[in-house]
Amino acid sequence: MIVGSTKEDVSLEKRVALTPDSAKNIIGLGLKICIEKDYATHIGIKDEEFQKVGVDIKSSSKEILSSCNLLIKVNCPLENEITNLKDKTIIIGMLNPSLNKKKLNEILKKDIKIFSLELLPRITRAQSMDVLSSQSNLAGYRAVIDSIFEYEKAIPMMMTAAGTVPAAKVLVIGAGVAGLQAIATAKRLGAIVSATDVRSASKEQVESLGGKFLSVEQAEDMETSGGYAKEVSKDYKKKQAELMKQALIKNDIVICTALIPGKPAPRILTEELVKLMKPGSIIYDLAAEQGGNSAFSEAGKINFVEGVKIIGVKNLMNRLPLTASSLYSKNLFSFIRNLYSREKKDFNLNLEDEIINKTMIKEN
């Protein structure tokens, strides 16, 4: 069985699906691997490093697509790749099924099975394959680094001979995986961190990282059984806006991470709220690609509104391609290990397995 991987569109995506480390692991399962030439040179991994662990380097993507049984990708395969795909291939990646519906349907027309890892059920056994966790975690970290980079003052409190630099105040909206890591990172740098979320379990979690939790009073718990958030009521929204009003006046940096799976991101910072912030403040919207938690936020753009910098994030992982690839690639390995049966020496698409069943994309 051959696992193949082709280059991504490097202008849009710097991550790679395979690192030498996990290549080694996959080969350890008894599989063969071939990848395209210069597969990861753009992030400093030379082809020789892959070869050292036993990976075949092919000069063109066509060669790979025509020979491999399993294609692993970061994003959806490119148009020209799809045409070259042979029947019975399996594809695994973060394929963003809602966005790439058409493309995927096209692929499904061939006898191809597609697994998109965003769809993983959040069960304990799937944790090691959970790409959302691994990538959101980095996103939370990077969000803080980026916003601090953009921020024109120093973050930590410093009492010096030339006066005191007050500590910056950071507000994190949404305390999921990304939000928690953002809290931790900002806290480390010495910021005064507060956070809010609709799920009541998150209060303890925020406090476990030394952050302050701002809770919307008398609110029901908005957690679904899957651990995700539900959409909130009007009344809740009003109360939350009131809370945000108080908070935004005080805070210097706001990091937005609130998401509701399968829905557009909740709009939490309205135009008026944004304008309440001090000039020089920063809103860093990790949810921008899903519609944004903040007014004025546009994916891939920085907008200035009355001195407030609103940063809409796009392709954030391109800022940490090495770490992100390494984690993603380990996630992929775990998924493949679950899929591949060493005895049968074949992939075992056991639809009884929740993990395999839920991630598989069915035509629609």
Ligand X SMILES: NC(=O)c1ccc[n+]([C@@H]2O[C@H](COP(=O)([O-])OP(=O)(O)OC[C@H]3O[C@@H](n4cnc5c(N)ncnc54)[C@H](O)[C@@H]3O)[C@@H](O)[C@H]2O)c1
Ligand Y SMILES: NC(=O)c1ccc[n+]([C@@H]2O[C@H](COP(=O)([O-])OP(=O)(O)OC[C@H]3O[C@@H](n4cnc5c(N)ncnc54)[C@H](OP(=O)(O)O)[C@@H]3O)[C@@H](O)[C@H]2O)c1
Q: Just list the catalytic residues.
A: 122, 127, 130, 133, 228
What is d(CA 319, CA 347) in angstroms, rounded to the nearest whole number? 34
Q: Answer for the pair 99, 105: CB distance below 8 angstroms, yes or no.
A: no
Q: How many residues can be counted in the chain? A: 364
Residue 245 sits in the site that holds ligand X (CB under 6 A): no
Residue 323 sits in the site that holds its own copies (CB under 8 A): yes
Among the listed residues 129, 192, 195, 229, the single contact to ligand X using CB under 6 A: 229
Q: Which of residues 264-293 bind other proteins (CB under 8 A)?
A: none
Q: Answer for the pair 172, 213: CB distance below 8 angstroms, yes or no.
A: no
What is d(CA 21, CA 312) in angstroms, rounded to the nearest whole number? 33
Q: Is 107 left (phi over 0), alpha (psi -120 to 50) or beta?
A: alpha
Binding map of ligand X across residues 160-199, x = CB under 6 A, - = no contact: -------------xxxxxxx----------------xxxx
76: tokens are 């959806």
Q: Which of residues 172-211 bind its own copies (CB under 8 A)?
A: 185, 188-190
What is the four-CA torsion angle of 210, 286, 72, 350, rounded to 10 degrees?
A: 70
Q: What's the closest the beta carbon of residue 351 comes to ligand X, in angstroms?
A: 22
Q: What's the closest the beta carbon of residue 127 comes to ligand Y, in angstroms?
A: 6
Q: Per CB under 8 A, which region of 85-93, 133-141, 199-207, 268-276 contacts its own copies?
A: 133-141
Element (H, E) at 282: strand 282-285
Q: Which of residues 125-144 bind ligand Y (CB under 6 A)?
A: 127, 133
Q: Is 155 exposed, middle or buried (0-12, 13-18, 19+ CB in 10 A)?
A: buried
Taking the least distance from each CB to ligand X, the nearer of 90 and 195 is 195
Binding map of its own copies across residues 208-237, x = CB under 8 A, - = no contact: ------------------------------
Distances in Å between the Cα of 231 and the Cα atoms of 180, 264, 280 are 20, 10, 31
What is d(CA 18, CA 35) in angstroms, rounded to the nearest whole number? 9
Q: What's the closest the beta carbon of residue 184 comes to ligand Y, in angstroms?
A: 12
- Chosen from other proteins, ligand X, its own copies, none, partner binding at 268 (C-beta under 5 to 8 Å by type): ligand X
Q: Which of residues 114-133 bind ligand X (CB under 6 A)?
A: 122, 124, 127, 130, 132-133
132: tokens are 């959302």
Helix (H/G/I), strand (E/B), else coil: 273 = helix
Q: Which residues bind ligand X (CB under 6 A)?
A: 122, 124, 127, 130, 132-133, 136, 173-179, 196-199, 202, 227-229, 232, 257-261, 266, 268
Give me the residues that bind ligand Y (CB under 6 A), please.
124, 127, 133
